[in-house]
Structure 1
Amino acid sequence: MIESLEDLEAVKKSCQSLVTKSSRLSAGAAIIPIPGVDIGSDVAILMRLIPAINQKFGLSPEQIDSLDTESKLFVMTAISNTGSKMAGKYITKKLIVLLLNKTAGKVAAKGVAKFAPFVGSAVAGGISFTAMKYMGNSHIEDCYDIALATLEKKRLESVIVVEPEQK
């Protein structure tokens, strides 16, 4: 559970490490000169990566459902305000494919690059690494902003001293 800004920074750093590892896997799959292998592996990688990030930030659907009504409403509003498509959601193959379609230009360039021997595979790997890193880090930033807003709300609530009602 994230209780301080230091905890939040540690979670962010841990998630960035996960994204880098996942980006390397994606690049490795893109180097294989068989069209379509990289897209399938990207979907599989993101199906594991995004829920892991959500979990670390306390933003998995189960974690949000366990909150009291007021906290749940605040978190859902914060998610909406960031425009996040993946925080607090069950991650499905359909959602991942939809998000990958947003990077369709890069994916198309990666697919075409595979047909140029040697250099094409390297270019495809580089594009895949960059696209995966971008998607993962963008999600981390969304989750960070949501968790920071929640942390700030808790801090403010603990500072406000409610005076007992006078009779």
Structure 2
Amino acid sequence: MPTAIELAQGDPKLIAAIRRSRSLLRRKALIGAAASTIPLPGLDWATDAALLSRLVPLISAEFGLSLTQLEKLGPQRREGVQKAAAAVGALLVGKLITRELLLALAKRVGVRMTAKQATKYVPMAGQAVSALLGYAALSTLGEQHIKDCVRVAIAARHLLPPPIDSDTKLTNNDK
């Protein structure tokens, strides 16, 4: 299976977006791993869900594919991006993160999440294993979303707006 960098086919803008996204992903996965060490039932699941609900839109925004960025496009351009997302099977591109979407993501890494719950109650070593599994699960989900964003960006390249910095606003010419 190709990496996100390989999928980018040498495009410097996509590679830069991948690197920024991976940096965000590493920081959030470390937070999730830390929460996994605390032996309170459900705390790590709640933390992972909260982290994902914030992380996915941030990653999407790096590629110009967040819900707010897509809403600013004209109807034809927006529909083209949505078709590209559907064609590559991108589950979260341009979508509002709902409970149902989070459950669908949890199913993708269900075995790791179940193992994480079981190991966290073994003193010390179990908490370390739980943290590693938590980091791996969140990293896997985030990396899959990055790959989905790259595939959509390539499939709909001529349709996408440039990624928006938090300080930058779209002008009427960009719509």
Name the stretch that deviates more: 99-108 or 49-58: 99-108
Distance 1:93 1:153 in 2: 29
Q: Which has the higher helix share?
A: 1
Code of the residue aligned with 1:93 in structure 2: it is: R
**8 A contact 1:29–1:37 mirrored in 2:** yes
Code of the residue aligned with 1:91 in structure 2: it is: I
| Unaligned ranges ≥5, structure 1 | 155-167
Q: Let me know the Cα RMSD of the aligned residues.
A: 1.8
- Over residues 17-37 of structure 1, what are the superposed CA-to-partner deviations in whole Å (9 max), with x where a residue is unaligned? 111111111111001122211
Match of 1:35 among 31, 35, 41: 41
Compare CA radii of gyration and give the structure with the larger one. 1
TM-score by length of 2: 0.80
Distance 2:126 2:24 in 1: 26
What secondary structure sits across from 2:82 in the alignment? helix
- Does 1:5 find its partner at 2:11? yes
Match of 1:145 among 132, 136, 151: 151
TM-score by length of 1: 0.83
Distance 2:108 2:144 in 1: 13
Q: How does 1:41-120 map to 2 (within 5 A)?
A: 41-120=47-126
Paired residues in the alignment total: 151
**8 A contact 2:90–2:152 mirrored in 1:** no
- Does 1:20 find its partner at 2:26? yes
| Unaligned ranges ≥5, structure 2 | 1-9, 161-175
1:162 corresponds in structure 2 to none
